[in-house]
Structure formats: structure tokens, C-alpha cells
Amino acid sequence: MTSLDTVQTFLKHVFSGTLEEAWTLVAPDAQFISARPVPNPRVPVHGTFAGPAGAREFFRRFAELLEPGEFNVTASFSEGEHAAMYGNLRHRSRETGRDFPSNWALVCRVQQGQIALYHFYEDTAALEAAIA
């Protein structure tokens, strides 16, 4: 399986709710980062989350914060242990009801069939505006 296959399989499990299968694709020392690696009290998904437990926490916070909506992949590619994808999304804040539209990019490193780095980039200003 290529690094891109691993990331796409992981996302398929996350989106379909088969989370236990998703966590098996996360390396013990993986880093999950949503846009900003430093925690931000206004945006609970910002920060760096470690290992499978960190991945669980990151996606738990995402589910509390946002109602998933559109998630479109424009392109994806990989080279060796690196995989990248980009596209656009539109989620909704559970608290305010406001839409969160954004372009996004995901950069991952896969080692020995598991995700070692998951760094998701998005319009952080648009997210803050949606949840404030």
C-alpha cells in the first residue's frame, strides 16, 4: 500500500465512522496537527496531538465543534513516505450555526504502513469567525 493509499484508507474510516480501524493506521508516536501546532483556547482543534490517543482526541474535538458538511478533494499525490491532498470544505459550527467554508491541504508522512505525521491546513480566520 502506498503512503497515499494509507491516508485515503484512514480518511475513509474516519468519514464512515469506523474509527477503531482508523486508529490502527496511526503510529504510536504520530503527530496530528490542525493548522496551528500550538494550542489555542478559542479553537479547541488547534494544537499538536500525539499517537492514536491524540488522533482520537483531535477528531472528538472536531466532532464537538463542527458538523461535517462538504469535503471535496481536488487532487492527491504521494512520493515515497509523503502524501498530500488538497481541496475545499464547508462545515458548520455546532454552537453558532455559521458555515465554515475553506480551502484545505493535508500533508502526511507514512512510515511502516502507519501515519506518522498528519498536518491539516485550513483558513484559520474563517474557522474562528464561524465558531465565535
21-64 per-position pLDDT tens digit? 999 999 999 999 999 999 999 999 999 999 999 999 999 999 99
Contact 7, 108 (CB under 8 A): yes
pLDDT band at 100, cuts 50/70/90? very high
Q: In this structure, what DSSP letter does residue 44 have?
A: T
CA distance 8 to 13: 9
State whether residue 54 is helix, strand or coil: helix
The predicted structure's pLDDT at residue 109: 98
The Cα-based distances of 132 to 51, 92, 129 in angstroms read: 29, 12, 5
The predicted structure's pLDDT at residue 62: 96
Question: Which ranges of 1-95 would DSSP assign to H, the alpha helix?
Answer: 3-16, 19-23, 51-65
